[in-house]
Chains A and B, each alone.
Chain A
Amino acid sequence: MNVPRCIVAALMSCSFSAAAHAHIASSGFLVANVAGADVTGSIEIAVLDVELAVGVDANRDNQITWRELSDGAPQLARYLSEHLAFTAQDGGLGVACRLSFQAMQVNDRVDGSYAWLPFTAQCPLAVRDLGIDYSVMAGLDPSHRGLLTLTAGRVVQTAVLGGAAEHATFSVFAPSRWRAFVDYFHAGIWHIWSGIDHLLFLLSLLLPAVLLRNGGRWEPVPEARPALISIFKVVTAFTLAHSLTLTLAALDIVRLPSRLTESIIAASIIVAALNNIFPLVTESRARIAFAFGLLHGFGFASVLADMGLPHGARLISLLAFNVGIETGQMAVVLAVMPIIYALRAGAFYRRAVMPWGSAAIAALALVWLVQRAVLPG
C-alpha cells in the first residue's frame, strides 16, 4: 500500500485546479447538523447546475464569473427554498422548519466549481425524526442526486436524496451517553453470569484460596486475612489482564481469531482445575490468572464485537461493559467466598470439593476444548 500517495491525493482533493476535472453525474452535497430544534449546515450545487436552474450567465458569453454567480445568489436561494425543505417529524405529522440561507461562497470539487450556501433551519420543536424534501434539479436533470451527510450529536449518517424519492426521513435520536452506559453495564453483568466458562475459570482459582499447601497436603488457612489477600490478588490480576485485552480488541488494535481464543479459554480452565488436583503452582496463582486473563479479555471482546459499540459513545460503552463484567464477577466472588471459607476446615472440602469439583470442571472444559478446537465450524 502506497500510503503516502493516498495522503497526498487526499490533501490534493480539496483543491482541484480549474484545468483538471472529471465528469460525474450531477450531484449536490448537503451537510446538515441537528442540535435540538435547529438544523444548520450547507448545500453545494455545481455552478453548471445553478445556471441550468436559475440562469446566471447575464452577459450570455457562456462563462460564469464569480460576479455573475454572486449576483444570482438571491434567485438561487429562492430556488433552493422551493426545492429543499426540512420538517421535524412527530409521529405521522411533519412540522415545517423555517429555512434561511446565508452568504454564498465557492467550493472546488472533482467536477468543477460549486456554489456553497450555508443555511439554518429553525424547527418549532426538538427534532427526533428529521424529514428532508429534496427536489433540486427536478425536471431539469432527473439524474441529479443529493448526497447527504447528516450529523446528530456524534452520530453521522449518509444517504442519497432525490430521484424517485423526493422525501426521506431520518431518525436523529442520539442515544444519551447515560443510556449507553446503562445498556452496556447490563450487558457486561449478563455476559459474566451467562458465560459459565469465565466463572468456572475464576472458581478454579478461588477454590484453593482458602487452603494452604503444606508438605504435599492441603491445610485450611488459619484466619481470613491470607485467604482474602489471595482472592484479592487473583481477582485483580484477572481483571487487569482481561480489561487490557478487551480494550485493545474492542478498539481494533489487536485481533485474534475467535476460534483460537475460545479454545485457549477452554484450555485455561483445564489447566487451572488440574492445578488444584496436581498442584504445580501454589503460591502465585495470580500469575496464572493474569496470563489467562489476557485471553479471556479477547473472549469478552468477541461478545462486544457482536453487539457493536454505539457511534459517539464508544469509549463510555466499552468502560460500562468492563465495569459490568467486574461487577458480575465481584458478585460471584462475594457469594462464593463465605461458603468456601466456612467449609475449608472440613474433610469434605479438601477431599471431595477440591479434587472432584476440580476434576468435574476440567472434564467439562475438555468437552468445550474438543468442541471449539477440533469440531468443524
Chain B
Amino acid sequence: MRLREHISSVFPGRRRIRRRPFFTALLFALHVSTACATPYIPARDAQVLAELPAGARHAGAPSRQLTANRLDIALPLAQFYISRARATGDLRFLGYAEAVLAPWMSQPAVVPQVLVLHATILQSRHSFDASLIELDRALKMRPDDAQSWLTRATVLRVLGRYAEALTSCEHLAVAADPAIATLCRQSVLGLMGQLTSAYAAIAALSPKEMPPEARAWRYSELGEMAERLADDAAAEHWLREGLALAPQDFYMRLAYADLLLRQQRAAEALQLLAGYESMEPMLLRVAIAHRQLQDGASVQAEALLSSAFDVEQRRSDVVHRREQARFLLDVDQQPAAALAAAEENWKVQREPDDILILLRSAQAAHQAPAAAPALQFLQTTGLEDSRLAPYRDAT
C-alpha cells in the first residue's frame, strides 16, 4: 500500500492497483487537504501558534559547540531528550537526541555510551535490526554493561527471537540487580510456553526489594500475563497498581485501555486516556471508545489519526504500523487494507498484540492463509494468549 508514485513517465507501466474505497477516500482526503489547506494570516499579533516543550528552544552555535565537545554534557542531554520522547510520545525529541549524538557518532572510535543511546533511539523508532547492530558494537567494547544487555533482550523479545533474548537476560544476571534479571528471564519464558510458572515467579518477586524503575515493569508484566491467562480481574488489579505507581507509563496505560475496550467499558477507557490524546496509540483507543459508545464524537480523532498515518506513510516511518492496522480494522472497517498493514507490521515486530492484529484482520478479510505465519510462530514458540484462542481455533 504505497500511495507514492516516484516516477511518472509516458508509460507508467502495469498499474493494476485494486481500487479500494479506503484509498479512494484517502486520495480524496489528500486532495481536499492540499486543496483546502489554506494558509492564513492570524487575526491577532498575540495569537499563540506554538507552546515550546522543555528543551526545544533554539540553541545558538556556542551551546551546540559545547555538546559537540563535551561528552559529559552531550550524554545527559541526549538521555533527557529520549526520556521526553518516552513520556510524551513526541517523536521530535528522538530527532533532537540524535542531533546531540551526531558529532559523537561520526568519530572514528565511538564511545559505547553513545552507541547504547543511539540504539535506544533506533529501538524507539522500531528500527530493531539497526538497534541490535549498535548494541552489539557497544557490547564488544563493554561486555558487562547491564543497560546494553537489557535493551538487547527487549529488542530481541519484540522481534520474537526468544532464545536469544533469554541469553541476553542471562548476561544481565551477572551485571545487574537480581530482581531485574529475574524479570527479564521470566518475562521471556512467559512467551515460551511457560506462562503459568513465569507469572507465579514474577508475582513472587517482592516490589520492596526492587529498584523503583523495575517495580512498574513488574506490574506491567503481571498485568499483561494475567490478561493472556484470561484472568481479567487480576490483570485490572495489576495495571491499576502499576499506574498508581507510574502514571506516566505509556505501555501500561495502553494495556489497561485495551482491557477496558475489550470488556466494552468505553466510558472508563475515555477517562483513562483523557489528556493523552496527542499520542497516536492513545488517540486510536479514544477513537475506538467513541465507536463503541456510538456517540459520533470519534470524527476528530479519526481525522487526526488518518492525517498522521498519511504523513508517516509518506515518510516510510514504521513506528505506528500496528496502530495503523488496528485503525483500518476497528475504526475504518477496511479488513483487506488492515490485513495488508498487519502483514507489513509483522515484518517489523512480533509481540502478542502483533499476532492478535494479524489473526484478527486475516479472519475479517476472509484470508485464512494470511494468518499462517502467525500460527506458525505460535506453534514454534509455544506462546500462550487467551485473547488469540478464538482466531487460533477458527483457522
Residues of A that sit less than 8 Å from B by CB: 1-3, 5-14, 16-18, 20-27, 31, 42, 46-48, 51-57, 60, 62-67, 69-70, 105-107, 109-113, 116, 137, 139-145, 147, 149, 155-160, 171, 175, 179-180, 183, 252, 305-308, 310-311
Residues of B that sit less than 8 Å from A by CB: 4-16, 19, 21-22, 25-26, 28-29, 32-34, 36-42, 44-52, 56-60, 64, 88-92, 94-96, 98-99, 102, 125, 277-280, 283, 299-300, 302-308, 311-312, 314-317, 332-334
With contacts A25-B95, A66-B45 known, is A57 near B311, CB below 8 A?
no
Distance of A11 from chain B, by nearest CB (Å): 6
Q: Are B98 and A22 in contact (CB under 8 A)?
A: no
In the complex, what distance in Å separates the CA atom of A66 from the CA atom of B278? 23
Q: Are A27 and B311 in contact (CB under 8 A)?
A: yes
Report the nearest B residue to A139, measured CB to CB. B99
Q: Are A65 and B57 in contact (CB under 8 A)?
A: no
In the complex, what distance in Å separates the CA atom of A69 from the CA atom of B95? 23
Q: Are A11 and B36 in contact (CB under 8 A)?
A: yes
8 further A-B contacts with Cβ under 8 Å, apart from A64-B48, A158-B314, are A7-B25, A9-B29, A10-B33, A109-B37, A113-B50, A140-B96, A141-B96, A156-B8
Q: 10 A–B contact pairs at CB < 8 A?
A: A13-B307, A22-B280, A22-B308, A105-B40, A107-B37, A109-B37, A112-B49, A142-B98, A143-B95, A305-B15
Q: Are A55 and B58 in contact (CB under 8 A)?
A: yes
A157 neighbours in B (Cβ, 8 Å): 5-8
B41 neighbours in A (Cβ, 8 Å): 105-106
In the complex, what distance in Å separates the CA atom of A306 from the CA atom of B8? 15
Q: Are B21 and A1 in contact (CB under 8 A)?
A: yes
With contacts A106-B41, A139-B102, A157-B7 known, is A51 near B32, CB below 8 A?
no
Contact residue among B8, B32, B48 (Cβ-Cβ distance under 8 Å from A155): B8
With contacts A51-B57, A51-B58 known, is A10 near B49, CB below 8 A?
no
A70 neighbours in B (Cβ, 8 Å): 45
Q: Are A26 and B92 in contact (CB under 8 A)?
A: yes
B316 neighbours in A (Cβ, 8 Å): 160
Contact residue among B21, B26, B98 (Cβ-Cβ distance under 8 Å from A141): B98
With contacts A24-B91, A158-B6 known, is A64 near B29, CB below 8 A?
no
With contacts A9-B303, A10-B29 known, is A308 near B280, CB below 8 A?
no
Q: Are A13 and B5 in contact (CB under 8 A)?
A: no
B277 neighbours in A (Cβ, 8 Å): 20
A24 neighbours in B (Cβ, 8 Å): 91, 308, 311-312, 317
Distance of B136 from chain A, by nearest CB (Å): 22
Distance of B51 from chain A, by nearest CB (Å): 6
Q: Are B94 and A143 in contact (CB under 8 A)?
A: yes
Q: Are B51 and A62 in contact (CB under 8 A)?
A: yes
B49 neighbours in A (Cβ, 8 Å): 47, 64-66, 69, 106, 112-113
Distance of B310 from chain A, by nearest CB (Å): 8
In the complex, what distance in Å separates the CA atom of A14 from the CA atom of B32? 8
Q: Are B50 and A47 in contact (CB under 8 A)?
A: yes
With contacts A8-B299, A67-B46 known, is A110 near B304, CB below 8 A?
yes
In the complex, what distance in Å separates the CA atom of A70 from the CA atom of B49? 11
Q: Are B52 and A141 in contact (CB under 8 A)?
A: no
Contact residue among A23, A31, A69 (Cβ-Cβ distance under 8 Å from B92): A23
Q: Are B14 and A308 in contact (CB under 8 A)?
A: yes
Contact residue among B39, B52, B88, B312 (Cβ-Cβ distance under 8 Å from A57): B52
Q: Are B45 and A65 in contact (CB under 8 A)?
A: yes
In the complex, what distance in Å separates the CA atom of A69 from the CA atom of B58? 13
In the complex, what distance in Å separates the CA atom of A31 from the CA atom of B278? 27
Tell me which of A6, A47, A70, A156 has the highest count of chain B C-beta atoms within 10 A of its own C-beta.
Answer: A6
B39 neighbours in A (Cβ, 8 Å): 42, 105-107, 116
Report the nearest A residue to B16, measured CB to CB. A305
Lowest 7 A-B CB distances belong to which pairs? A55-B58, A10-B29, A141-B95, A143-B95, A6-B25, A105-B39, A9-B303
A141 neighbours in B (Cβ, 8 Å): 92, 95-96, 98-99
Report the nearest A residue to B20, measured CB to CB. A1
With contacts A10-B25, A310-B10 known, is A25 near B315, CB below 8 A?
yes
In the complex, what distance in Å separates the CA atom of A2 from the CA atom of B331? 10
In the complex, what distance in Å separates the CA atom of A139 from the CA atom of B38? 30
In the complex, what distance in Å separates the CA atom of A112 from the CA atom of B49? 8
Q: Are A65 and B48 in contact (CB under 8 A)?
A: yes
In the complex, what distance in Å separates the CA atom of A329 from the CA atom of B191? 68
B52 neighbours in A (Cβ, 8 Å): 48, 51, 57, 62-64
In the complex, what distance in Å separates the CA atom of A128 from the CA atom of B38? 30
A57 neighbours in B (Cβ, 8 Å): 52, 57-58
Distance of A131 from chain B, by nearest CB (Å): 16
Q: Are B51 and A2 in contact (CB under 8 A)?
A: no
Q: Are A1 and B334 in contact (CB under 8 A)?
A: yes
Distance of B65 from chain A, by nearest CB (Å): 12
A63 neighbours in B (Cβ, 8 Å): 48, 50-52
B333 neighbours in A (Cβ, 8 Å): 1-2
Distance of A141 from chain B, by nearest CB (Å): 4
Contact residue among A13, A143, A308 (Cβ-Cβ distance under 8 Å from B91): A143
B299 neighbours in A (Cβ, 8 Å): 5, 8-9, 12
Report the nearest A residue to B102, measured CB to CB. A142
In the complex, what distance in Å separates the CA atom of A310 from the CA atom of B12? 7
Q: Are B90 and A23 in contact (CB under 8 A)?
A: yes
Contact residue among A13, A69, A106, A308 (Cβ-Cβ distance under 8 Å from B29): A13
Distance of A333 from chain B, by nearest CB (Å): 29
Report the nearest B residue to A148, measured CB to CB. B314
Distance of A102 from chain B, by nearest CB (Å): 11
A10 neighbours in B (Cβ, 8 Å): 25, 28-29, 32-33, 303
Q: Are A306 and B14 in contact (CB under 8 A)?
A: yes
Q: Are B14 and A65 in contact (CB under 8 A)?
A: no
Tell me which of A48, A147, A171, A311 has the highest count of chain B C-beta atoms within 10 A of its own C-beta.
Answer: A48
Tell me which of A23, A141, A149, A157 has the highest count of chain B C-beta atoms within 10 A of its own C-beta.
Answer: A23
Contact residue among B14, B22, B95, B308 (Cβ-Cβ distance under 8 Å from A142): B95
Report the nearest B residue to A149, measured CB to CB. B34
Q: Are B98 and A23 in contact (CB under 8 A)?
A: no
Distance of B237 from chain A, by nearest CB (Å): 31
